Amino acid sequence: NGKGTLQAKADTRLDTLATEATVELTGLALADLQPWVAQAASLDVRQGQLDVTGKATYAPGGAGDAIGF
């Protein structure tokens, strides 16, 4: 619907690529996600709005990368 907004601000270490970011998603119309929801579940999304604020992290490692939110 073109009304949702996503804002992010991140700090990344160039030597390791470790990253910490603050993320804010507001006004995402859930009905717009219906085509993807229908592929994964027997669910009909008709209305609703999603707002999310959080901190995302990425830390590369020898045994595997760690990703968090």
User: pLDDT digits over 37-47, tens only?
Assistant: 999 999 999 99
Q: What would the pLDDT profile of 53-67 be if each residue is shown by its tens digit? A: 999 999 998 788 999
pLDDT grade for 1, boundaries at 50, 70 and 90: low
What's the pTM? Answer: 0.68
From the list 8, 11, 4, the residue with the least C-alpha distance to 50 is: 4
- pLDDT, mean over the chain: 93
From the list 37, 67, 40, 39, the residue with the least C-alpha distance to 55 is: 67
